[in-house]
Chain A
Amino acid sequence: MKKIFITLALVMGVYSAQAWNWVYDQAALLLAFENMTPVAQAEMKKYLGEDIRNQVQTFEKARKKGNLLETADWRTISLDMNLRPVVADDKNAIAQLENAVEVVKNQANKDNDEVEFAIRKIIELTIDMHNVANVYLAEFPYSKEDFEFQQSAGGYGKREKFRTRKWKHFWTYGFSVFHSAWSAEMHVRDLKVCHGRNKEKYMAGTIRTWASDMGNLAKPLYEWAGPDCELSRQAHSEEEERFYAGVARAAYRIAALMNEATK
């Protein structure tokens, strides 16, 4: 019996490893870098090094080693019934990002570690706040939970089978399965083809208006999705558009924040 559990765990592990989810983060950062001013690009390289593409998920890596645990509370945004951001304390992406931009702006008075940390916050929290599973809507209280739902495992009509999945895991790993063997550069190209025309629109505004924008993107989702909902193969396929829209927004907005902070 023990062997079976180990085998099952390994199989699951392999499936996760195949997901390449970090490729989306890399793509967001590479596209962001392309859209930064030369000054912002230089700052980025100065603090993070020449190898920009691998400067993603550093907080997550640290958390796995038991460090920077407080960053786990910074990934989310909350919106009220009118989709206005709620920033009651600093345990959210909005407050942390606003703070990070100020640190980079005033870097002359800061030590290097503090500026580097702020730049990492700009990258990671901008990505995090553009994942709809990190958007909490007052109108849909369950949006705050990592609820279980039923995901299609194939078949159609009466033959469609479902399996229980976790919501946040799905929004992190659930779409890379469609694009095995894709490099970050391939995603960058598609993000530009699919969303390049919206670049100016995405980059305009403030962190708070972007939060509301994410509320508008997430709201139609939570109108039908919630605990124990069924996510058919069709819905999975359609939701990729929402997922990609989040990645594109994150990419252009990282650039906007870095450009603003280094102006």
Chain B
Amino acid sequence: MNKTILRLLLVVVATMFVAERAMAWENVGHAVIAYNAERLLDPEVKAKCRHYLKASIPFYATWMDQARSIEPYTVCDKWHSTNIDAKNKVVVGKPTTGAYHIERIRKEMANGAYKTMSDSLVKINLQYLIHMVGDHHCPVHVRWSKKSHPQFHYNLLNKGKKRRPHGFWDGSIAFRRGKWTAEKHFENMQLLSPKQAKKMQKGTAYDWTQETADVWRKYCFPAMPEGTDISKMSEEDVATVHAIVDKQVQRAAYRLAGVLTEIFKE
């Protein structure tokens, strides 16, 4: 009897964590990236985004995490991340990856082509972009094959219990930061000069994903090797994690703002 109840409770708890983990960057990270991006937009572009969305940009920051369970959007279930090959290079041109769809939508909407689309299609495309640009800056949203990169399939610990790195890095923006609002995260973000911003916004979603993969290999993985106990991280360790993810959030926000500007700026 006790064992049955025990199993039931464990399943309930596990289900809750699985549901939470399934949200890339988690809700906080997506809200922060979208909010920061909106703050970086000029009024003309912001007004156009709001015209089509009938809401602010952060309002739809996590829509895609809901939509992946909703027909007809279940097709986007695989668009939250992009594959990396055995040589650590981003896989280009694969329709089951997010980077492919970011670039597809950018091309389809470029040079005023969005004006030939229905308002609802523009809205959906924006909702995709808002989420996917964020996702592709999350260090655990690059897909490493278990065969070519077995070292990246490992466990961290939390109070001695196993925990996947995915769950940790998805929630790392808010990690040990209490109830920071998106506004507070914006204040925390380092602002760039227009020249620096332009430089950061250059490239394609493939380039950005490649950079995210490199961030994972060079910084995240060494910072949190197998067996690291999250509950025992020092302030210094936490600061290292925040430095990595804050940079990724900055990149994502500037690039999302850049993509939206490229689409809507006359």
Q: Do A193 and B56 have beta carbons less than 8 Å apart? A: yes
Interface status of A205 (Cβ within 8 A of chain B): no
Q: Do B56 and A185 have beta carbons less than 8 Å apart? A: no
Shortest CB-to-CB span from B19 to chain A, Å, is 5
Q: Do B70 and A4 have beta carbons less than 8 Å apart? A: no
Chain A residues numbered 148-164 whose CB sits less than 8 Å from any CB in chain B: 152-157, 160-161, 163
Report B-chain residues with C-beta under 8 Å of the C-beta of A189: 56
Report B-chain residues with C-beta under 8 Å of the C-beta of A11: 13, 16
A154-B18, A193-B55 as given contacts; A180 in contact with B31, CB under 8 Å: yes
Q: Do B56 and A181 have beta carbons less than 8 Å apart? A: no
Chain A interface category by residue count: 35 or more
- Chain A window 163-198, contacts with chain B (Cβ cutoff 8 Å), 1 for yes, 0 for no: 100000000000001111111011001100110000
Shortest CB-to-CB span from A235 to chain B, Å, is 9
Determine the distance from Cα of A180 to Cα of B182 in the docked complex, in whole angstroms. Answer: 9
Determine the distance from Cα of A152 to Cα of B65 in the docked complex, in whole angstroms. Answer: 13
A156-B70, A156-B71 as given contacts; A181 in contact with B18, CB under 8 Å: no
Query: Looking across the interface, which residue of chain A has its beta carbon closest to that of B181?
Result: A183
Report A-chain residues with C-beta under 8 Å of the C-beta of B193: none
Interface status of A234 (Cβ within 8 A of chain B): yes
Interface status of A147 (Cβ within 8 A of chain B): no
A11-B13, A181-B181 as given contacts; A155 in contact with B54, CB under 8 Å: no
Interface status of B87 (Cβ within 8 A of chain A): no
Chain B interface category by residue count: 35 or more
Q: What's the dominant secondary structure at chain A's contact region? A: helix
Q: Do A183 and B182 have beta carbons less than 8 Å apart? A: yes
Interface status of A236 (Cβ within 8 A of chain B): yes
Determine the distance from Cα of A186 to Cα of B55 in the docked complex, in whole angstroms. Answer: 11
Interface status of A237 (Cβ within 8 A of chain B): yes
A181-B28, A182-B58 as given contacts; A1 in contact with B15, CB under 8 Å: no
Q: Do B54 and A193 have beta carbons less than 8 Å apart? A: yes
Determine the distance from Cα of A163 to Cα of B14 in the docked complex, in whole angstroms. Answer: 13
Chain B residues numbered 27-50 whose CB sits less than 8 Å from any CB in chain A: 27-28, 31-32, 35, 50
Report B-chain residues with C-beta under 8 Å of the C-beta of A180: 26-28, 31, 174
Q: Do A233 and B70 have beta carbons less than 8 Å apart? A: yes
Among A8, A155, A177, A186, contact of B56 (Cβ-Cβ < 8 Å): A186
Interface status of B68 (Cβ within 8 A of chain A): yes
Q: Do A153 and B6 have beta carbons less than 8 Å apart? A: no
Which one of A153, A181, A233, A236 has the greatest number of beta carbons of chain B within 10 Å? Answer: A181
Query: Looking across the interface, which residue of chain A has its beta carbon closest to that of B2?
Result: A1
Q: Do A179 and B74 have beta carbons less than 8 Å apart? A: no
5 additional A-B residue pairs with CB within 8 Å, beyond A7-B13, A180-B26: A179-B62, A181-B179, A190-B55, A237-B63, A237-B67
* A–B complex contacts, Cβ < 8 Å, 20 sampled: A1-B5, A153-B15, A154-B22, A154-B69, A156-B70, A156-B71, A157-B71, A180-B28, A181-B32, A181-B35, A181-B181, A182-B58, A182-B182, A183-B183, A186-B56, A193-B54, A194-B54, A236-B66, A237-B63, A237-B67
User: Chain B residues in contact with chain A, CB under 8 A?
Assistant: 2, 5-6, 9, 12-13, 15-16, 18-19, 22, 26-28, 31-32, 35, 50, 54-56, 58-59, 62-63, 66-71, 74, 174, 179-183, 185
